[in-house]
Structure 1
Amino acid sequence: MKTQCLQLLTEKHYPTARCIDGILLFLPLQGTLDIHSISKAHSVTNDFILINDVETYQISQNGTCIMLYIASDWFEKVGVNFFDYKYIINLIQSTNEIMRKMLQLAHAQLTDTLTEAQFEKWMTDIVQIIVDEAKINASIVNQHLNYTGYGKFGEILEYIFNHLPDKLTLSALSEKLYISKSNISGQFYNVLGIGVKHYVDSIRIASSMRYLIGGNHTLEEISEQCGFSNGASYSKKFKAYIGVSPNDYRNLDKSQKVVHLGTTQECHYDEETLLSLINDKAMQCSNTSDIRIDERNPKSYRPCCNVLQIHTVAELKKLFLEDFTFYRTEASEHIIFYCLVDAKTLTYELTEEEKHQITSSLLEHQLSIAFHINSKEDLRWHLELLWPLVKRTIEDNEQLTKEAAQGFAYIFNLATMDLKTIYRHLIHVQNYNFQVDFGIDITDLFNQPTEFKQLEAQLKRINFKYYFIDNARLNPPYLVEDSEQILTKQLVHFTNIKDIIQRMDIDDQKYFLLNLENRLLSNDQIAELMDSPPILMEMLKETWNSFGGIGVDLFQQLSGREHLYLYDKNGFSSVLNILLHRFLELEDIKLRDYGHYIVAMQEEKVTIYIYDWRILEGEALDREALPARMTMDIQHSIINGNHLIYSENFDGKQGNINQIVPSSLRDKYEWSTPLVKKIEQFNQPQFEIFEHDFSQSALEFKLHYNSVRIMHIFKNEQTDKF
């Protein structure tokens, strides 16, 4: 579609005009834009200008600019009586967002891709920002309106504004103001380029709009209010100025209303050049946020342990027998494998050789593994299966000692056993003379906080190492059907859970929150939270801030509500898996939290994790969003010259298997491990390597919408610990 409310202005200057019904926005694309309005002289290159209704304006200098006319009806659409307010540009905080929407409109119009739905949405978005941030009661503005910028001529304009119902001919003004008719006439032509009669008629017509549109007044009533001699005279002058009669104008749709700038010159422009200007301006006006790294010490924390849940024997085999994932051999200090398969099933579904290989792998790599215990029978099967295997494996390998089994743990379920029974089982396990850690699933206590408080002293005496909270069993859970409209950024404050934790005298780093839920983004029937690297970053950060760790499924589970996972059911890596891998590479480095970016100071490099904050605001995927232009200013003693930088970009596309192999294809075929690994080699985040001298300038770069950018800045020429 083509809309007449958006125009591209390319002439150097335009004659005086008046905003009659609604507001005007002007955004320069090239050069400086100078507009003199009735209240202020504007000169901008990287901002926009807003002209209110009734105001006269004159474009005295222009390179190329966008003019967007927003009729009063658009404000009525969002529930605001337009004529009760004026709209002040200095109050607007989201200027970049308004400019971005204007540029999107212009781009779509030029490329003939603008749809009615897009037009309606972008216009409504702009109006909503202006209403939310810029409106102020019109009576207050009018009380403080002055024309001092026009000097003595301003006194004439002020008199006209305050006496619209009165007779305002040149003779009447001369008589009232004691100024000669020739002087008044000359000032109007010299300053505004129009005559007195045209000026008075235009301001009266503009003032009549509140009665014409905002009520059921007759033309006679309107003419009396605004200073016209009668209804017929009002109708005649209205049509001469607007192009249609007052009654026809009342019936126009908001998108049919247009503004004429009073020039007969045609607008000539080169489409390719204009598109280039629009794209350049989009880069300049996208939301920016400086990345500043200096000697400050903000809030910091470590990437905590992460619990990887294993649900089936097949998953266990894939993990330990197929050399499938790096978690089996690396990051042992930050990973707890949580086996939810009961020991009886393990006994019958694994061969003796498989049991031996899995046990050897656990001991040789000193991995941490926890077993879920629901009953006395569960524990008996575990003790009869596990510890004889551990003992034989250690005896067969001279390099292994009993200390290799220090990562083994049992997690008892308080929902199926009382605390006294659990304590007896704990003593029984210790008789096996192996150092074993113990944890407890206390989900049900969060559903009954009073009982939790009563058991607090006993829990502390037993001194469990792990306290597991299963979000899927919380009442209500962290994400439930009733909270579909609640943003994840609000939910990850974990307010209810933290309130209970704070009442207990137990180290909050012992709590582990399991089974955070995956769900669709708010405006999409395909894209999920798992497709948004920034949302995943925020969830990881907030979980590490609040708990000892986060629990996710090693492989995607398709029964019931889906939780966060590292690999899909075919073994393809998720975005979460790649992000988590990058954090685990930090070993035991503290993370410095600066809000939308995180910094890790390491021995040979500084790693910065920067994520796009915009999608967090509404968790709605804006597929038309432009990249944000950002700068990184480092004022730190260790980064003060020319440095090598390795940069990775996670944008929900690169490194996201959903963008490479659609789920419909993944569900249709069987995927062998070698083929999956082959595809994974190519499905990696986009990267680049370059140098930058921070002593000369800040680093400028683009941050794509819905992306995380990781930059490794090497302190010297050594890249051993990449």
Structure 2
Amino acid sequence: EYYDIDFSYLPQPVVFIQDINDIAISHINLNLLNRCFEKLFEMDIGLAMQINSTQQFEAINQIILSFLQSNQDYKNNKKLVKLMLVFNSEYMTVNEIHLCHLKIKNKNREIRYGITVEGLLRDSPSIDQTYDIMKRLNFDYYFIDIENLETKNLLLTKRKTYHHSSTHFENYKQFMLDSGIPTTNFVYNSLSLKCFKYTNNGTNPLQLSDLVCHLIALMRYGGGISYQLIDDHSQYIALFNNYGSPLPLMHIYKMGDSFVDEPLELGNNYLISRKDGNYHILLFNKINDRYLSDSKQKFIFKNNLKKNSLIIIKTLNNEHGSIQNLLPKSKELLYIERNILEDLDKCNRPKTELAIQEENNKPFQMTLKHDEVKYICFKPI
């Protein structure tokens, strides 16, 4: 509410609180907390909380029961309870997690359950036994911090098919596919610059094509991803800067909305889909052209559109859609009036252009500059 941030373009968004000590230990106002739950659920936003001990679970269990008792619509499943409990296997045994799950699993059928995988990997003699435990627990989600050095070393030690040269996402993909569990049940926990091949473990800057390819991989394999909510100038990929303004990843999610759950044609530097009778195209730089600062790609669209058909173009680059370029470079949080931030957000959204088909079947030309993404929508008459 403080930032008034918009999650509407994220598929099934969930706020993940990894440190719940303030909630579990402090004497908080339950009425206020219940209202916070309701407000999130009403905006179709879920809330996940990481459980690190049986004591934390007991405290959170009581809070959940209090919420259900005071909200009959949620208790009787007339409204959806968008809560998730994520048990931390590094600090809790499998038996402790199982007993906690038994205590709460019948309280509300909409509550989801997850578990972090790192502790299971550490305590299991083999990766196959880790998979067996995951399948026996039969939770909704399995969170894995694949970038963690200890996790990588465990995978390398326990299975020869993992290699030092593999990228983090390659390891993540292999771990998912080898498990026999649907990939939609996995969550890539704590995405950072280290995940991206061409950033050289985070030393090179991230480019827009990296983010587009990341989103394409998610659409291809499903599953969840945990981003940092507010940028703190670390290597973790964030959705918003510390003023609550959307970063380029959020703009790409908006552009990608027309491609989700639709048949796709995927090329080296484009996505094409058809939705609601319109043609949607996403153009991005070829990965192997990323370091050619003067590189441009020219596209010619040969179409059968009739005269006066509408063409919408949105351009995301360093001048449009990167709000951090318009704000102070200081890492200190400065007070800036809300109306100023809103004006900056408006002028820094991806540039939108409208074109009209001048003649029947006239080819349409487009130039894509370096480190630029364009979304094009053809709306036939």
Query: What TM-score, normalized by structure 2, do the two folds share?
Result: 0.83
Alignment partners' CA distance in 2, 1:401 and 1:331: 29
Note if 1:326 corresponds to 2:21. no
What are structure 2's unaligned runs of at least 5 residues?
Answer: 154-164
| Equivalent in the alignment of 1:374 | 52
8 A Cα contact 1:366 1:404, kept in partner: no
SS of the residue corresponding to residue 562 of structure 1 reads: coil
Tell which structure's C-alpha radius of gyration is larger. 1
8 A Cα contact 1:339 1:370, kept in partner: yes
**Any residues of structure 2 matched to 1:646-685 within 5 Å, and which?**
646-664=312-330, 667=332, 669-685=334-350
1:360 Cα deviation from its structure 2 partner: 1.7
User: Comparing both structures, which one devotes a greater share of its residues to helix?
Assistant: 1
8 A Cα contact 1:446 1:497, kept in partner: no
Note if 1:633 corresponds to 2:302. yes
| Equivalent in the alignment of 2:132 | 457
1:408 Cα deviation from its structure 2 partner: 1.7
SS of the residue corresponding to residue 126 of structure 2 reads: helix
8 A Cα contact 1:646 1:687, kept in partner: yes
Note if 1:592 corresponds to 2:265. yes
8 A Cα contact 1:334 1:584, kept in partner: no
8 A Cα contact 1:516 1:552, kept in partner: yes
| Equivalent in the alignment of 2:192 | 517
Query: Closer, same or farther in 2 for the Cα pair 1:454/1:355, shift >3 Å?
Result: same
Percent of pairs with identical residues: 16
8 A Cα contact 2:323 2:344, kept in partner: no
Note if 1:565 corresponds to 2:238. yes
1:496 Cα deviation from its structure 2 partner: 2.7
Amino acid at match of 1:457: D
- Give deviations 1:593-650, integer Å, cap 9, x for gaps: 223111232114222111011xx22754x54x1532221234xxxx643420110011
| Equivalent in the alignment of 1:257 | none
| Equivalent in the alignment of 2:16 | 338
SS of the residue corresponding to residue 302 of structure 2 reads: strand
| Equivalent in the alignment of 1:386 | 64
1:474 Cα deviation from its structure 2 partner: 4.5
Query: Closer, same or farther in 2 for the Cα pair 1:455/1:492, shift >3 Å?
Result: closer
SS of the residue corresponding to residue 355 of structure 2 reads: strand
Alignment partners' CA distance in 1, 2:6 and 2:229: 12
Query: Closer, same or farther in 2 for the Cα pair 1:707/1:408, shift >3 Å?
Result: same
1:342 Cα deviation from its structure 2 partner: 0.6
8 A Cα contact 1:439 1:466, kept in partner: yes
What are structure 1's unaligned runs of at least 5 residues?
Answer: 1-320, 479-489, 717-722
Alignment partners' CA distance in 2, 1:629 and 1:470: 40
From 528, 533, 542, give the equivalent of 2:205. 528
From 512, 537, 546, give the equivalent of 2:212. 537
Amino acid at match of 2:314: E
Note if 1:607 corresponds to 2:280. yes
Note if 1:508 corresponds to 2:186. no
**Any residues of structure 2 matched to 1:695-706 within 5 Å, and which?**
696-706=361-371
Query: Closer, same or farther in 2 for the Cα pair 1:598/1:444, shift >3 Å?
Result: farther
SS of the residue corresponding to residue 471 of structure 1 reads: coil
1:574 Cα deviation from its structure 2 partner: 0.8
8 A Cα contact 1:471 1:513, kept in partner: yes
- Give deviations 1:377-418, integer Å, cap 9, x for gaps: 1211211223312431x24xx699525234221111121122
SS of the residue corresponding to residue 227 of structure 2 reads: strand
SS of the residue corresponding to residue 669 of structure 1 reads: coil
Alignment partners' CA distance in 1, 2:365 and 2:85: 50
Alignment partners' CA distance in 2, 1:672 and 1:568: 16
1:563 Cα deviation from its structure 2 partner: 0.7
| Equivalent in the alignment of 2:254 | 581
Query: Closer, same or farther in 2 for the Cα pair 1:426/1:403, shift >3 Å?
Result: farther
Note if 1:438 corresponds to 2:89. no
Alignment partners' CA distance in 1, 2:122 and 2:141: 18
SS of the residue corresponding to residue 337 of structure 1 reads: strand
RMSD: 3.3
Note if 1:617 corresponds to 2:294. no
Query: What TM-score, normalized by structure 1, do the two folds share?
Result: 0.46
| Equivalent in the alignment of 1:549 | 224
1:590 Cα deviation from its structure 2 partner: 4.2
- Give deviations 1:39-83, integer Å, cap 9, x for gaps: xxxxxxxxxxxxxxxxxxxxxxxxxxxxxxxxxxxxxxxxxxxxx
1:538 Cα deviation from its structure 2 partner: 1.1
1:703 Cα deviation from its structure 2 partner: 0.5
Aligned pairs, number: 366
SS of the residue corresponding to residue 325 of structure 2 reads: helix
SS of the residue corresponding to residue 502 of structure 1 reads: helix
Alignment partners' CA distance in 2, 1:492 and 1:455: 22
8 A Cα contact 2:306 2:380, kept in partner: no
Of structures 1 and 2, the one scoring higher in RCO (CA 8 A, sep 6+) is 2
SS of the residue corresponding to residue 652 of structure 1 reads: coil
| Equivalent in the alignment of 2:310 | 644
1:553 Cα deviation from its structure 2 partner: 0.9
Alignment partners' CA distance in 1, 2:14 and 2:296: 38
8 A Cα contact 1:440 1:468, kept in partner: yes
Amino acid at match of 1:670: Y
From 459, 482, 495, give the equivalent of 2:170. 495
Query: Closer, same or farther in 2 for the Cα pair 1:425/1:353, shift >3 Å?
Result: closer
**Any residues of structure 2 matched to 1:44-83 within 5 Å, and which?**
none
